Structure 1
Amino acid sequence: MPGSSQRVTRSASSKANKGKGVTSSSRLLRSSQPKPADPEYGLEDVDYTTLSSEETINALLERNTDPISEKMMLILKGRMGQEVSDAVEKEKRDRSLVISGLAEWGMDKPLLQRKKYLDEQVADILDTLKVDCLPEVVYRMGKYSETRPRLIKGELRHISDLPRRRHEGNL
């Protein structure tokens, strides 16, 4: 059936043997032999290119009987999620700006005026640096203090909005 999705589930014997440390000679013999193309496994007519990475690993786990390979695939499955999260976080950090030392209006001014003033200050700095982009988000970090201004954090839409010299350290 093209276009339909099929759910992969472990067989009852696979579930029963999982976690029991079954290492019988018959299981070890089976682990080196591929499973037969059998409708019982339900994966023969699946277009594997349409499966997500997680679905592909689940399909491999279902067909696999080698405990070492299964353990390695489970480790790989766990790492993939973390690597994606790390990549997203890194990309977000790469788009971030932190500015220090900009004067801060007192808390006696209305919020909208303070926000507008902050946005204008950040825009002036980006113009000076010849960055032709306004940040999506600009805010001050930390607790207000009359003795020193808080840090300012901004996030650009794209990493390409930053000048090429960014890798040299501070802008």
Structure 2
Amino acid sequence: MPVTNPWLAGPSPSGRLPTDRLEERILNLLSSQNMCVLATAGPAGPLATPVRYFHLDFTLLFTSAAGSPKLRNIAADPRVSIGVFAPLVGQASSRGAQVFGEARILSPDDPEFGDFWPAVRWQSDHVERSRSLDDPPLGPLVVVPATRIVYTEHWLRRDGYAPRQFWKRAPAAR
């Protein structure tokens, strides 16, 4: 029987990608997708919510209605996990990331808001809803700097690399 991707057979390789190549692949995934699943924990238990995200390097951003369950959970416990994935058509196309970090909720009067807000492309939503582009939304912005990322891509097996790779943010310089 012919096999489409024979390199998927057998044990997975264990090679580690060099950091610069891993970062490039992660950024490619973050740039080519726009939906994720945000996992939070709150008094009622875990909550997994699909959200549209934006990113600046390894920091994910999304907007939300004030008082939403996900914002209440983040306010109580800022530790989050975010799943980003490409459409799956078979093992060879399996590609995604688990992003871990601590979320911060920024309001427009927060000094850091302006550092992140330009990455949020809210204009298309306003056009779709017949709202004026002169009146940007004023809701909260959630910012999640990734502290670690588990990246999965089965195509890496072709070149002798493990399909699961691990990234950690470098410690801040003092």
TM-score range, shorter chain: under 0.3
**TM value normalised by structure 1:** 0.24
Question: Per residue, is there more strand in 1 or in 2?
Answer: 2
Structure possessing the higher radius of gyration over alpha carbons: 1
Question: Per residue, is there more helix in 1 or in 2?
Answer: 1
**TM value normalised by structure 2:** 0.24
